Amino acid sequence: PLKQSTLSNTAREPLPSPDLCLFIIVIFLYLHCLSLSFTPRLPRPGETIHGNRFFTGFGGKGANQCVQASRLGATTAILAKVGQDHFGESYIKNLKENNVNTDFVSQTDGASTGVAQITVDDEGQNSIVIVAGANLFLRPEDLVCVEEALASSKVLVCQLEVRPETTAQALRYARRHGVKTILNPAPATEDLDPELFELADILCVNETEAEMLAKQPVRNVKEAEKVALSLLKHGCQATIITLGPSGCVVAQNRDPTPHHLPSQSVQALDTTGAGDSFVGALAFYLARRPDLGLVEIAQRSCMVAAVSVTARGTQSSYPFRSSLPDVLF
Per-residue pLDDT tens over the stretch 200-246: 999 999 999 999 999 999 999 999 999 999 999 999 999 999 999 99
Q: Return the amino acid letter for 199.
A: L
What tens digit of pLDDT does each residue of 296-329 get?
999 999 999 999 999 988 898 999 999 999 999 9
161 is in an annotated binding site: yes
Q: Are strands 255-261 and 202-206 parallel, antiparallel or unpaired?
A: unpaired
The residues assigned a catalytic role are: 276
What global pTM score does this model have?
Answer: 0.85
Q: Return the amino acid letter for 267.
A: Q
Residue 307, helix vs strand vs coil: helix
With a cut of 70, say whether residue 47 has pLDDT above it: yes
Does 127 fall in a domain? yes
Does 31 fall in a domain? yes
Structural domain range at position 254 = 21-45+52-319
- CATH number of residue 295's parent domain: 3.40.1190.20
φ, ψ of residue 24 to 5 degrees: the values are -120, 135
Nearest to 205 by CA among 255, 261, 287, 276: 276
Does 328 fall in a domain? no
247 is in an annotated binding site: yes
What percent of the chain has a predicted confidence (pLDDT) above 90?
Answer: 61
95 is in an annotated binding site: no
Does 188 fall in a domain? yes
Domain tally for the chain?
Answer: 1
With a cut of 60, say whether residue 18 has pLDDT above it: no
246 is in an annotated binding site: yes
* Candidate from 12-16, 215-219, 252-256 with smallest mean pLDDT: 12-16
Model confidence at 24, in pLDDT bands (50, 70, 90)? Answer: low
Burial 53-85 (b: 16+ CB within 10 A, else e): eeeebbbbbbbbbbbbbbbbbbbbbbbbbbbbb
